[in-house]
Amino acid sequence: MRIGLEATCLVDGMFPQVGRATVRLLERLGHEVVFPLEQSCCGQMHINTGYGRFALPLVRRYADAFADVDAVVVPSGSCAGSVRHQHAALARAAGDEGLARAAKEVAARTYELSELLVDVLGLADVGAYYPHRVTYHPTCHSLRVLRVGEKPLRLLRNVEALDLVELPEAESCCGFGGTFALKNPDVSAAMLADKMRHVLSTRADVCTAGDSSCLMHIGGGLGRLSTGVRTVHLAEILASTKDDAESGATHATGTAQGVAS
């Protein structure tokens, strides 16, 4: 399958290891990955902050960049959710029916990572090896916009040597919310404090999720408190193999999100 990678602006600029892990994983599974350099951002930051108009060119770029791939993979539930639920509506609101059609067409081929693996590629076991105690935070947009449900957990349960521990009150928001964290920093911090308390109660070494943004927020809080708990994107865990672990490759255990390599 020829799969286009939408790296997301955050992964491209801040967490390239997540993009590299996604490429490594899909290539290991026998697929061709392409990265159209014309892409930049899904525009969600603009849309959700009230600057939807600014996002229109980005919606067009997205539709153009991925016009000729079989599927688009996004290592972010939030960005995949924006493509699927906001792009066509934004184009329609702007009176551009042509773009709305194109956006709808590409959105139907756009998947968050766990959706691509489970629904499209029919995999529950990707042959990963990750010897750590891990807890999973189901980010709000993966959970309630995309409805990925149990897919990430199924994938994690099949990772060899991984000890999966349940996160208390997992479904409550971590408090990031894009620019919410800037506009309402105090409420955001209060929500983060509760999320960190729950993560620490699991005694996990690693907190994982399908969104770098939420992990940046949680990891930033855990880092400030010097808890020693790392945040690692789901893609990095699924890309890890026993060979990596034995060879001591840096990407084998994933790179902490809150603390860049």
Partner 1 sequence: MPTAPRGVGNLRGEEGFPAAARTALADPQLRRNLGHATRTIRAKRASVVAEVPDWQELRAAGAAIKDDVLARLPELLVQLEEQVTARGGTVHWARDAAEANAIVTRLVQATGADEVVKVKSMATQEIGLNEALEAAGIAAWETDLAELIVQLGHDKPSHILVPAIHRNRAEIREIFLREMGKVGRPAPEGLTDEPRALAEAARLHLRRKFLSARVAVSGANFAVADSGTLAVVESEGNGRMCLTLPQTLITVMGIEKLVPTWQDLEVFLQLLPRSSTGERMNPYTSLWTGVTPGDGPQEFHLVLLDNGRTATLADPEGRAALRCIRCSACLNVCPVYERTGGHAYGSVYPGPIGAVLSPQLTGVEDNATLPYASTLCGACFDACPVAIDIPTMLVHLRNRVTEAKEAHGPLPGAEATAMRAAAFAMSDRRRWTLALRSAKLGRLLGRDGRIAAVPPPLTRWTRTRDLPVPPPESFRDWWVREHGGRS
Site string for partner 1, 177-206 (x = CB under 8 A): xxxxxxxxxxxxxxxx--------------
Please report, as residue ranges, which positions from 233 to 252 form the binding site for partner 1 (by CB under 8 A).
none
Q: Given candidates 157, 197, 203, 224, which one binds partner 1 under the rule CB under 8 A?
A: 224
Instruction: Say how many residues make up the chain.
Output: 261
Please report, as residue ranges, which positions from 39 to 58 form the binding site for partner 1 (by CB under 8 A).
40-41, 43, 45-55, 57-58
What is the number of other CB atoms lying within 10 angstroms of the CB of residue 242?
Answer: 15
Q: Which is nearer to partner 1, 51 or 124 (CB)?
A: 51
If one asks whether residue 217 binds partner 1 (CB under 8 A), the answer comes out as yes
Residue 160 CB, shortest distance to partner 1, in Å, is: 27
Residue 122 CB, shortest distance to partner 1, in Å, is: 27
CA neighbor of 139 nearest in space, from 203, 19, 233:
233
Residue 5 CB, shortest distance to partner 1, in Å, is: 9
If one asks whether residue 31 binds partner 1 (CB under 8 A), the answer comes out as no
Q: Which is nearer to partner 1, 23 or 118 (CB)?
A: 23
Please report, as residue ranges, which positions from 65 to 124 form the binding site for partner 1 (by CB under 8 A).
85-86
Sequence letter at residue 225: L
Q: Which is nearer to partner 1, 72 or 181 (CB)?
A: 181
**Residue 231: Cβ-neighbour burial (10 angstroms; 0-12, 13-18, 19+):** buried
What the block records as the tokens of 99 is 């773009």
Radius of gyration, alpha carbons of the chain: 18
Residue 158 CB, shortest distance to partner 1, in Å, is: 27
Residue 134 φ then ψ, to 5° = -125, 140
CB within 8 Å of 55: residues ≥ 6 apart: 43, 44, 46, 47, 90
Q: What is the total count of residues that contact partner 1 (CB under 8 A)? A: 74
Distance CA 173, CA 26 (A): 29
Contact (CB, 8 A) for 42 and 243: no
Residue 63 CB, shortest distance to partner 1, in Å, is: 14
Distance of CA 217 to the CA centre of its chain: 13
If one asks whether residue 161 binds partner 1 (CB under 8 A), the answer comes out as no
If one asks whether residue 227 binds partner 1 (CB under 8 A), the answer comes out as no
Residue 157 CB, shortest distance to partner 1, in Å, is: 25
If one asks whether residue 11 binds partner 1 (CB under 8 A), the answer comes out as yes
Residue 139 φ then ψ, to 5° = -60, 150
If one asks whether residue 16 binds partner 1 (CB under 8 A), the answer comes out as yes
Residue 235 CB, shortest distance to partner 1, in Å, is: 12
CA neighbor of 122 nearest in space, from 207, 29, 203, 215:
29
- In the block, which residue shows the tokens 């770098």? 212
